Amino acid sequence: MSALPLSLDDDQLAYYRSYFTDFFVGDFCPGMGTEHILDTLADSGASGDWLDLGAGPCTLFWSIALSDIRSIQSTDAAPEALAVLREVAQSGEVPRAFGQVLDRHGKDTAHLDQMRARMSGYHVFDAMQSWPDTFTGQRFDLITEFGLFGLSPSVDGYRACFRHVKEHLRAGGRVVGADWIRSAQYVASAGHDNTYLSEDLIASAVSGAGLRLTSSRLCPIAGDELYDALIVWSAEHTE
Ligand SMILES: C[S@@+](CC[C@H](N)C(=O)[O-])C[C@H]1O[C@@H](n2cnc3c(N)ncnc32)[C@H](O)[C@@H]1O
């Protein structure tokens, strides 16, 4: 199933292609918090039907850490992000960082091929609002967001993202997320001050949505102009 529009913006396509190249075509770069996301996914015990929110071109990369995934759907507000993800999924190529992370998780390219085959849906919508009607009644075993909820313009908006997720999570389902905290320099140049992010806020947003926090970790990032830290967290639907 695919819901991508036929008309795509060339500049946006170029942006997402270089996003993918910058992060994955070279060596995997430890020390930036990414390894904690991979470990949290691997430790989550999540399996079954997975929905990745604000996926960018990255769902296939994160899939390396997961096992027993039955189906994969990716969403983003930008259709071009999903078009690039679909190119990546269909290309059969194994970028260097993918190979290194496969080794790190004791997996081989057969795992990647399975994940590619299970990528069945690409959906364009704003995940900070109530989800579209096409998702009414649909529930998932795993929902992820890496770098999306922390783009919420306010604390209230951040909290609301968790309530939307809860509506689409099966009983026993898992949510795994990571939110990057912008540096003062990045806020000054690009705006969007998300220094409201904290482990306390995440704990309260999780419980406010009726979920149970299962892990949370603040990972400082040294020597990065854009981000001071990353918070990696996981939660479950216990009802
Ligand atoms: C920082 S990137 C993260 C991409 C990817 N998840 C990763 O692991 O690197 C944030 C992504 O969220 C998407 N995005 C921004 N606002 C959104 C919204 N309101 N709803 C859905 N996606 C959104 C952007 O288009 C972008 O692809």
Phi/psi-derived region of residue 100, left when phi > 0, alpha when psi is between -120 and 50, beta in every other case: alpha
7 located within any domain? no
3 located within any domain? no
Its pTM stands at 0.97
The closest alpha carbon to 112, from 64, 41, 48, 51, belongs to 64
218 located within any domain? yes
184 located within any domain? yes
13 located within any domain? no
Q: Residue 112: which domain range? A: 30-236
71 located within any domain? yes
How confident is the model over 74-97, as pLDDT tens digits?
Answer: 999 999 999 999 999 999 999 999
Q: Is the CB of 77 under 6 A from ligand 1?
A: yes
Q: How confident is the model at residue 1 (pLDDT cuts 50, 70, 90)?
A: very low
92 located within any domain? yes
How confident is the model over 168-189, as pLDDT tens digits?
Answer: 999 999 999 999 999 999 999 9
Q: How far is the CA of 100 from the centre of ligand 1 (A)?
A: 24
Q: Is the pLDDT of residue 3 over 80?
A: no
Quick one: which atom of ligand 1 is closest to the CA of 127?
A: 20
CATH number, domain containing residue 141: 3.40.50.150
What is d(CA 157, CA 155) in angstroms, rounded to the nearest whole number? 5
Q: Is the CB of 37 under 6 A from ligand 1?
A: no
16 located within any domain? no
The domain tally of the chain equals 1
